[in-house]
Amino acid sequence: MNSSIIEKIRLAAPLIHCITNYVTVNDVANVLLAIGARPVMADDPEEAEEITALSAGLCLNIGTLNARTIPSMHAAGKRARDLGHPVVLDPVGAGASKLRTETAIRLLDEVHPTLVRGNISEIRTLAVGTGTTSGVDADAADAVTEENLSASADFVCAFAARTGALVAVTGAIDLVTDGSSCYAVRNGRSEMGRVTGTGCQLSALLAAALVTAPSDPIVAVAETVALMGVAGELAWDRMGEHDGNASYRTRIIDSIYCMTDEELAAHASITKL
Amino acid sequence: MNSSIIEKIRLAAPLIHCITNYVTVNDVANVLLAIGARPVMADDPEEAEEITALSAGLCLNIGTLNARTIPSMHAAGKRARDLGHPVVLDPVGAGASKLRTETAIRLLDEVHPTLVRGNISEIRTLAVGTGTTSGVDADAADAVTEENLSASADFVCAFAARTGALVAVTGAIDLVTDGSSCYAVRNGRSEMGRVTGTGCQLSALLAAALVTAPSDPIVAVAETVALMGVAGELAWDRMGEHDGNASYRTRIIDSIYCMTDEELAAHASITKL
Amino acid sequence: MNSSIIEKIRLAAPLIHCITNYVTVNDVANVLLAIGARPVMADDPEEAEEITALSAGLCLNIGTLNARTIPSMHAAGKRARDLGHPVVLDPVGAGASKLRTETAIRLLDEVHPTLVRGNISEIRTLAVGTGTTSGVDADAADAVTEENLSASADFVCAFAARTGALVAVTGAIDLVTDGSSCYAVRNGRSEMGRVTGTGCQLSALLAAALVTAPSDPIVAVAETVALMGVAGELAWDRMGEHDGNASYRTRIIDSIYCMTDEELAAHASITKL
């Protein structure tokens, strides 16, 4: 597999508009800068569409949604689609509250995002209305495992086919599908779950990737999902004796900043199912 | 003193709902993950109660309060109390503005938090209406010292007795009381004041601690206050030549991630007054 | 040049009120603590003026402006001016949306900030209504270079003279002017652009600097601009093999925490034009 997604993004340096949560927004900005993209955050209805029009891609993340930013997400999302820009939807915590579930479903139905990236419980909530989301984490009962891999892939693939969106489900095993093909990505470490926002970061990176690889989006998505996982692996190898999740947070972004095509190609584990 | 609060939290992995300020929210999320709890941030009135109901504990922090989030704090706080969940109130900057003072007092009166954690000026403001809060820091004139320790403890204890809340006052010497017993905790370093949000982090950790130790809350609170201080001490010992407050910030959270019961027991300085 | 701005700020420890964006706010707070100032963030109209009155200086940053915070900026700005406090305006992304451009121009016209700090595209937008702002970054076409230095300085100086504000334009070469004198600062590294918020941090530091050097503000501004650049240079020298922009972010703030007058004097490159 040609792992040139890093070079593509660095070359294009796309401006990515993020309407995202205030918990992880700084890391989202820095991870975009790490890979060579450029972030712009703007969430007010008065300017959301205009900032979207200026940008190359859009990332909608409902992590700390509110009555002011939901209309901004809709307006920006529709504008981006009209302009042919990729839109990533990150349905953080869908299933955890009625507001999150309904907002995510409405964005899915009305904006028609290019890609949805979430954990398996969030995706189940969007697909069948009942995930067992526990806060913003996936529920263990939903987890994609080697045992249920085939059934999980079928489920996610059917959801992608029905919605017309690319879908990336991240967890111990990641699944990427466009509704016909499906890839499993086996990268990353469980300790990444101890750093807030690695999923948010990936969603923003995926918006950058989709801008730069319009002709083969599913491969770009699979490579970018692998990239985030590989960053987590390399960062863990660089941990020192007293390092914990705060150092890990720093090292993950650093690993993306430093990553070469060769490193990604050597470590990425992407399998077509 | 049995310092098993770390193991208790790691075992329970409680979901903690934080309605908190956007300045330090990322560190609050990461410190909860460091100790083995799970954070969820949600501040819109449309979902605050529902997220609280899903969670095991609630932390209300008024650091960047506004007209939209104050009602969320009240609704979430009352719901948590109805459900028997612990509620921590962090009255950031009470005394610095009418809005902060009144909001903190109303939350105290109407939500009846399980625990109030603040600096001495904030607590004085809540207790007698006149602290000399200087921004979000305690005023030197209010400081708890060895000289005024007994009088300070009496003051804080009376406040706890009157409100029915546990109270943790943090500063050079920390005081923890339930209105009858009072503990002094002598841990931490003054340099922790050069990192924004160590108080916010502690408040969130206290919510996690209270979830896991309902039968002996005052000891859990004292241990957790000591834990934060010990993390500051251990993190300082790990500082390198050119490290400053930004590295210290990272190392404090790392120290919580790595801390063992034995380390905590060896360093905690908790005295019953 | 006497580089005592660090000592002045450490001695005064001024309280700086920041109404700022949620992307970089944590770094803004920590950089103020690094230099020995004290941050307070408060953006609600109900308390903005009161917090300003309590503080010594004000930093208005429109990075994630919205309908609720714009009135807070106006109210706080006017109150600060009435009290004789320095006000810094950081017009993040002016030119990128009508809302940003109009808000920045109205703040400039109605608040009369002591200092405006921005990139050259933002300043062009304020000066002539047409910058070629690309998101929140300066456009390459606008860049201040050795070739256009004299013309750029004249342009910025005229803008300062017309508005009555000090102006600091940061980029590869920084310009500082009060409308009559103009300084060029040649410090910093291009890699600082890969860390979100170094401009926001500088704006907050400038508010602290202006509090402590009312008699010679332009020199204080030039020194503080140099300080930020020198921090970026020293931090880069301390980067390790696998470090990237996330570590750089930490090391820049650390460098400010650790910086001595001697280091600043040895590295600052400030030229009167």
Q: pLDDT tens digits for A166-205?
A: 999 999 999 999 999 999 999 999 999 999 999 999 999 9
Q: Using 50, 70 and 90 to split pLDDT, how confident is the model at A161?
A: very high
Instruction: Report domain extents, chain A.
Output: 5-272
B5-272: which CATH topology?
UDP-N-acetylmuramoyl-L-alanine:D-glutamate ligase (3.40.1190)
Digitized pLDDT (tens) for each residue of chain C, 273 residues in all:
454 899 999 999 999 999 999 999 999 999 999 999 999 999 999 999 999 999 999 999 999 999 999 999 999 999 999 999 999 999 999 999 999 999 999 999 999 999 999 999 999 999 987 655 566 677 777 899 999 999 999 999 999 999 999 999 999 999 999 999 999 999 999 999 999 999 999 999 999 999 998 889 999 999 999 999 999 999 999 999 999 999 999 999 999 999 999 999 999 999 999
Cβ contacts (< 8 Å) between A50 and chain C: which residues?
96-99
Listed residue (B207, B188, B209, B204) closest to B252, CA to CA: B188
Q: For A140-155, what is the mean pLDDT?
A: 91
* Contact flag B33-A249 (C-beta cutoff 8 Å): no
Of the residues A25, A28, A97, the best mutation for testing chain B's interface (the one with the most B CB atoms within 10 Å of its CB) is: A97
Residue B4, chain C, CB below 8 Å: the answer is: no
Average pLDDT, chain B: 95
pLDDT at A138 over 80: no
Q: What is the DSSP letter of A263?
A: H
Residues contributing to the annotated binding site of C for substrate: 41, 197
Chain-centroid distance, C-alpha A82 = 21
Interface test with B, best of C257, C258, C259, C260 (most B CBs within 10 A): C257
Binding residues of A, as ranges, are 41, 117, 170, 197
Taking contacts as CB-CB distances below 8 angstroms, the residues of chain C near B134 are 15, 38, 54
Encoding tokens for residue A152? 């999980």
Is C71 in the A-facing interface, judged by CB distances under 8 Å?
A: no
- What string of H, E and C letters represents the secondary structure of chain B? CCCCHHHHHHHHCCEEEEECCCCCHHHHHHHHHHHCCEEEECCCCCCHHHHHHHCCEEEEECCCCCCCHHHHHHHHHHHHHHCCCCEEEECCCECCEHHHHHHHHHHHHHHCCCEEEECHHHHHHHHHCCCCCECCECCHHHCCCCCCHHHHHHHHHHHHHHHCCEEEECCCCEEEECCCCEEEECCCCHHHHHCCCHHHHHHHHHHHHHHHCCCCHHHHHHHHHHHHHHHHHHHHHCCCCCCCHHHHHHHHHHHHHHCCHHHHHHHCCEEEC
Quick check: A42 and C23 CB within 8 A?
A: no
Q: Does C63 touch chain A (CB under 8 A)?
A: yes
C-beta separation of B68 from B74 below 8 A:
no
CA geometry: angle at A149 spanning A263 and A233, to 5°?
A: 25
* Residues contacting residue A131 through CB under 8 Å, at least 6 positions apart: A94, A95, A120, A121, A122, A123, A124, A125, A139, A142
B258 contacts chain A (CB < 8 A) = yes
Rounded to a whole number, what is the distance in Å from the CA of A243 to chain B's nearest CA? 5
Q: Which helix (H) or strand (E) holds A264?
A: helix A261-267
Q: 3-class SS at A167?
A: strand
Q: Does A15 touch chain C (CB under 8 A)?
A: yes
pLDDT in tens, A51-87: 999 999 999 999 999 999 999 999 999 999 999 999 9
From the number of C-beta atoms within 10 Å of its C-beta (0-12, 13-18, 19+), residue B260 rates as exposed
Q: Are B22 and C25 in contact (CB under 8 A)?
A: yes
Which parts of C are annotated binding residues? 41, 117, 170, 197
Q: So what's the pLDDT on residue C103?
A: 97
Q: What's the CA angle centered on C44, arms C39 and C45, to 5 degrees?
A: 120
What confidence tens digit (pLDDT) does each residue in B24-74 have? 999 999 999 999 999 999 999 999 999 999 999 999 999 999 999 999 999
Region A244-258: mean pLDDT is 98
**Hey, is the C-beta of C43 within 8 angstroms of any chain B C-beta?**
yes
How far is residue A270's CA from residue B179's CA, in Å, rounded to a whole number? 60
Output DSSP code: residue A148: T
C-alpha C159/C-alpha A179 separation (Å) is: 56
User: Which residues of C are annotated as part of the binding site for ATP?
Assistant: 117, 170
CA C111 to chain centre: 17
Look at C25 and B27 and tell me if their CB atoms are within 8 Å.
no
- The mean per-residue pLDDT over the stretch B118-131 comes to 88
Q: How many CB pairs under 8 A join A and C?
A: 108
**C57 touching chain B per CB within 8 A:** no
| Residue B137 touches chain A, beta carbons under 8 Å | no
Decide: B256 and B213 in contact? Cβ < 8 Å. no
Is residue B205 pLDDT above 50, yes or no? Answer: yes
CA atoms within 13 A on the CB side of B78: 9
- Average pLDDT of the residues in B210-230: 95
Bigger pLDDT: C236 vs A134: C236
Return the pLDDT at A98.
95
pLDDT score of C136: 66
Chain A CB contacts of C194 below 8 Å = 33-34, 257
Express as a percent the part of chain A with pLDDT over 90. 92
Poorest-confidence range of A231-240, B221-230, C139-148? C139-148
Residue pair B45/B98 in contact by the 8 Å Cβ criterion: no
The answer to whether B223 touches B209, Cβ cutoff 8 Å, is yes
Rounded distance between C-alpha atoms, residue A12 and residue B163, angstroms: 60
> At A203, which helix (H) or strand (E)?
helix A198-212
The answer to whether C55 faces chain B, any CB pair under 8 Å, is yes
The answer to whether residue B232 scores a pLDDT higher than 90 is yes
Query: Mapped to the 3 state alphabet, what secondary structure does chain C carry?
Result: CCCCHHHHHHHHCCEEEEECCCCCHHHHHHHHHHHCCEEEECCCCCCHHHHHHHCCEEEEECCCCCCCHHHHHHHHHHHHHHCCCCEEEECCCECCEHHHHHHHHHHHHHHCCCEEEECHHHHHHHHHCCCCCECCECCHHHCCCCCCHHHHHHHHHHHHHHHCCEEEECCCCEEEECCCCEEEECCCCHHHHHCCCHHHHHHHHHHHHHHHCCCCHHHHHHHHHHHHHHHHHHHHHCCCCCCCHHHHHHHHHHHHHHCCHHHHHHHCCEEEC
Q: For residue B163, what pLDDT band results from cuts at 50, 70 and 90?
A: very high
Question: Which of B129-133, B195-199, B230-234 has the weakest average pLDDT?
Answer: B129-133
User: Would you list the DSSP string of A25-81?
Assistant: HHHHHHHHHHHT-EEEE---TTTHHHHHHHSSEEEEE-TT--TTHHHHHHHHHHHHH
Q: Percent of chain B beyond pLDDT 90?
A: 92
Assess A191–B contact: CB distance below 8 Å, yes or no: no
B220 near B205, Cβ under 8 Å?
no
User: d(Cα A5, Cα B98) in Å, to the nearest integer?
Assistant: 53
In the block, residue with structure tokens 């954690």: B117
- Chain C residues near residue B254 by CB distance under 8 angstroms: none
Which class for A152: exposed (0-12), middle (13-18), buried (19 or more C-beta within 10 A)?
A: buried
**Looking at chain A, which subunits does it touch, using at least 3 CB pairs closer than 8 Å as the criterion?**
B, C
Radius of gyration of chain C (CA): 17
Contacts of C249 in chain A (CB under 8 A): 30
* Closest CB from B41, B46, B234 relative to A99: B46
| Cβ <8 Å between C68 and B66 | yes
Q: What was the pLDDT predicted at B1? A: 45
Chain C CB within 8 Å of residue A196 CB: no
What are the tens digits of pLDDT across the range B84-103? Answer: 999 999 999 999 999 999 99
On the question of pLDDT at A134 being above 50, the answer is yes
pLDDT band at A142 (very low <50, low <70, confident <90, very high): confident
Average pLDDT in the A34-58 region?
Answer: 98
Q: Chain C interface, mutation test: which of B25, B196, B241, most C Cβ atoms within 10 Å?
A: B196
Cβ of residue A140 closer than 8 Å to a chain B Cβ: no
Question: In whole angstroms, how large is the CA radius of gyration of chain A?
Answer: 17
Using 50, 70 and 90 to split pLDDT, how confident is the model at A132? low
Residue B266, both tokens: 């060896």
Cross-chain Cβ contact A246/B54 below 8 Å: no
What is the average pLDDT across A155-159? 97
Is B170 part of any known ligand binding site? yes
Residue of chain B minimizing CA distance to C42:
B64
Question: Measured between CB atoms, does A138 come within 8 Å of chain B?
Answer: no
Is residue B57 within 8 Å of B217, Cβ to Cβ?
no
Partner A contacted by B255 (CB < 8 A): yes
**C186 to C183, C196, C254: CA distances (angstroms):** 10, 20, 21
Cα of A151 to nearest chain B Cα, Å: 29
Position A1 scores a pLDDT of 45
Q: Is the CB of B254 inside 8 Å of chain C's CB atoms?
A: no
Contact indicator for B36, B62 with CB cutoff of 8 Å: no
d(Cα A14, Cα B54) in Å, to the nearest integer? 39
Written as six digits, the tokens of C165 are 């504000």
Would the CB atoms of B43 and A23 count as touching at under 8 Å? no
Sheet (strand B182-185) strand order: B38-41, B15-19, B57-61, B87-90, B115-118, B166-169, B174-177, B182-185, B270-272
The verdict on a CB contact (< 8 Å) between A30 and C245 is yes
Q: Where are the beta strands (DSSP E) in chain A?
A: 15-19, 38-41, 57-61, 87-90, 115-118, 166-169, 174-177, 182-185, 270-272
Residues of A in contact with B47 (CB under 8 A): 97-100
CA distance B244 to chain C (A): 4
Q: Which of C35, C43, C54, C239 to mutate to test the interface with B (most CBs of B within 10 A)?
A: C54
ipTM above 0.90, yes or no: yes
